[in-house]
Structure 1
Amino acid sequence: MATSVLSQRPTHEPQLTPCKHQVAGHLFEDGKAGSFVDECGHFYKPLQNGPRGRREQEFYELIMAILQSEECYHPRRRLSGSYGSRDSAEPSGEGVESSSGASCIQAEERLAEGQTEAGAQPETHLSFSVRNAALLRAIPLCYGLIELDGVRMIEMEDLAGQYRHPSIIDVKMGFHTWYASGDARYIERRKAKDAATHQSSLGFRICGMQVYRNFQRGYWRASKRWCKGLPQEEVRKALLRFPHNESNLRAADVYGGQHGALSQLHQLLQWFKVQQEFVFYSSSILIIYEGDAQKQSETNVVIRLVDFAHTFPVNGERDSNFLNGLASFMSVLEDTVAADTHDDCSL
């Protein structure tokens, strides 16, 4: 893009510390440029060099530019104005809605009512923020672009920062993580990796996980090697382990219920059934809940869609790869809830 709408921070540098709750991606312990957090509840993700970093930046730029041009709210902020604001890291966005924000909410509700049937066509006459409200709810709030010591980073909300003891799972979506426009070497490498894991057979892959254990007052973390070597027959057991925090939580307390992961994923699934504006390769779903919760009402479950280094804008193309992978993931989660009898699920 010729002009960046990701604002540069001209003031003093923030005090950054390594993010201790990052469970996948580039990690400091692997010798990579890991992510940071600050004292204000913001998360800083270094952009990769080359086209990958450029695509991720352009994805957020596109979202921010459109919302600013529409003078519409972000669905999780319920405020008019820009996509994100450095004035507050609070994602709930308490405040008084503008008339434009209220009209967006009403139109969003009408859109949701009309898109419940499978195969429905996208309502292209509606504004971007309305027809893509489910996407906007799922992606992190973005505050801008910052450069420190020559490293460009996207500044966004710290998803784990609102939790005392965040339990997090990172699940990469899609039956394949390669795209036809990639070079032959890239496609060959991704195909081999997909085939070596349960990505190509299940349509998703667990890339990282941490579970807070109340009794032991600490985290169990799955290493990259553990995730890569996880056999397909053990995937449901891993998904069963994630909600078990040694405080009598069950899979239904995290995945089920009106505000659980499955309910939130269903909203995203309905959007993928009709949207024809983006395709997402190698993007992940994060599920986060309060690790020391004693009951479902305390879990504060959220799902987020992250990682857009291989996301492309399209015109009239349905993202069946992500859609089918998400549907498969939800089906396995539903089976996990049904099978949860609190048997031993230690890993």
Structure 2
Amino acid sequence: MFTAPDHQVAGHQARDGQLGPLIDSSGRFYKPLQTNGRGSQELAFYQSFSSNPRIPNQIRNFFPKFFGTKILEASDGSGPRDHLILEDLTVHLINPSIADIKIGSRTWFPHASDEYINKCLKKDRETTSLTIGFRICGVQIQELSGIWRPSKNQVQGFEKEEVREVLERFFRNGNGDGLILEQLKELKGWFEEQTIFHFYSASVLLIRDDGGEEMVKIVDFAHVVDGDGVIDHNFLGGLCSLIRFVAELVEKKKKKSSSSVENGYLSNKKFFISWKYFLVPTVLALLVSDDDIGYRGWIPLSCGQWLQLNFDIWI
């Protein structure tokens, strides 16, 4: 049985009679081939990428696995249609948070029509693509209060500082920020050398979940062209800009965490612990306050628990 993906945050969605991707229970993601040559271009990329011996194995991990094509009934009811068969990146994730980030200050490809160039240039100017080299296309973040998922109009209106705030919100909970940063840097290392492809209008997905999974993926290859032996400076520049944003946020979080522990505020657990304690026959009690959720109360601890608090429980 085929259904629309629950965690797709950008692009055309297979809902309300619209054409979009589908998933099945086996972990496959079926993307309909687009018209105007874009579908055939993306298929050609996957075929070339899959068979190219110059692609390092560790770099292949940043791309969805490709399993060929299949004719399926299109989600918009238009009849049978070819679909790419790809890996469903979220099939095993628990409450995933996802940010879809289009990379590059220029999103149109060489030899595009004037109409297409003007359309892309207008969007690049109206978003943060031109100013910071990337833009957020969609995002969902799992929070204590539920899922935060801004509308398409909200996302398109993000300016530089709002992009920073969204990324900070994305990394707020959890401890795997450094892992995502390291993956981005590894990807950057390849783009500093590879001259095989140029990626126009492709996206980087930042993905994390409640189970501790942290990963970076690249998607959307309808406008990939031959690199002709030249480094893809457009994609590389946007990727470097994203890395700077993420690195600043990771460093800020580390400093805040370090400062918080010294001052008694344990940010990883969101608990402020007053270092006052009360001995009641062999029992210690700690005043615990969480402003985020409005909780304040006392936690009784045995003496043994108190001695291990900083090492085993909170840190």
TM-score range, shorter chain: 0.7 to 0.9
Any idea what the Cα deviations from partners look like across 1:45-77, whole Å, max 9, x if unmatched? 1111121111101011112344xxxxxxxxxxx
Which residue does the alignment assign to 2:70?
146
Question: How much is the aligned-residue C-alpha RMSD, in angstroms?
Answer: 2.0
Whether contact under 8 Å (2:205, 2:217) holds in the other structure is yes
Distance in 2, Cα, partners of 1:241 & 1:178 = 30
Cα distance change, pair 174–31 in 1 and its aligned pair in 2 (3 A): farther
Q: Secondary structure at the match of 1:336?
A: helix
Cα distance change, pair 337–33 in 1 and its aligned pair in 2 (3 A): same
Distance in 2, Cα, partners of 1:225 & 1:166 = 22
Q: Secondary structure at the match of 2:93?
A: coil
User: After superposition, where does 1:44-123 map in structure 2 within 5 Å?
Assistant: 44-66=30-52
Whether contact under 8 Å (1:134, 1:271) holds in the other structure is no
Distance in 2, Cα, partners of 1:129 & 1:203 = 25
The amino acid across from 1:128 in the alignment is R
Does residue 225 (structure 1) correspond to residue 117 (structure 2)? The answer is no
Does residue 327 (structure 1) correspond to residue 246 (structure 2)? The answer is no
Any idea what the Cα deviations from partners look like across 1:314-337, whole Å, max 9, x if unmatched? 321110000010000000111122
Does residue 289 (structure 1) correspond to residue 208 (structure 2)? The answer is yes
Does residue 34 (structure 1) correspond to residue 20 (structure 2)? The answer is yes
Q: Secondary structure at the match of 1:303?
A: strand
The amino acid across from 1:242 in the alignment is F
Any idea what the Cα deviations from partners look like across 1:150-192, whole Å, max 9, x if unmatched? 2211111110111121111110000110123101111111111
Distance in 2, Cα, partners of 1:31 & 1:220 = 25
Q: Secondary structure at the match of 1:187?
A: helix
Structure 2 portions without partners, runs of 5+: 74-79, 257-266, 271-290, 293-315
The offset of 1:28, in angstroms, is: 3.4
Which residue does the alignment assign to 2:163?
235
Whether contact under 8 Å (1:134, 1:267) holds in the other structure is no
Distance in 2, Cα, partners of 1:198 & 1:304 = 21
Which residue does the alignment assign to 1:136?
60
The number of equivalent residue pairs is 252
Greater relative contact order: 1 or 2 (C-alpha under 8 angstroms, separation 6 or more)? 1
Which residue does the alignment assign to 1:263?
182
Q: Secondary structure at the match of 2:118?
A: helix
Q: Secondary structure at the match of 2:84?
A: strand
Which residue does the alignment assign to 1:338?
251
- Highest CA radius of gyration, 1 or 2? 2
User: After superposition, where does 1:163-312 map in structure 2 within 5 Å?
Assistant: 163-213=93-143, 215-216=144-145, 218-245=146-173, 249=174, 253-256=175-178, 260-290=179-209, 292=210, 298-312=211-225
Distance in 1, Cα, partners of 2:22 & 2:168 = 30
Q: Which has the higher strand share?
A: 2
Any idea what the Cα deviations from partners look like across 1:51-108, whole Å, max 9, x if unmatched? 1111101011112344xxxxxxxxxxxxxxxxxxxxxxxxxxxxxxxxxxxxxxxxxx
Distance in 1, Cα, partners of 2:243 & 2:114 = 32
Which residue does the alignment assign to 2:310?
none
The amino acid across from 1:193 in the alignment is K
User: How high is the sequence identity, in percent, across the aligned residues?
Assistant: 37
Distance in 1, Cα, partners of 2:81 & 2:65 = 21
Structure 1 portions without partners, runs of 5+: 1-14, 67-126, 293-297
Q: Secondary structure at the match of 2:251?
A: helix
Distance in 2, Cα, partners of 1:208 & 1:61 = 27
Whether contact under 8 Å (2:4, 2:15) holds in the other structure is no
Cα distance change, pair 306–30 in 1 and its aligned pair in 2 (3 A): farther
- Given the two structures, how large is their TM-score scaled by the length of structure 2? 0.75
Cα distance change, pair 195–33 in 1 and its aligned pair in 2 (3 A): same
Which residue does the alignment assign to 2:264?
none
The offset of 1:205, in angstroms, is: 0.4
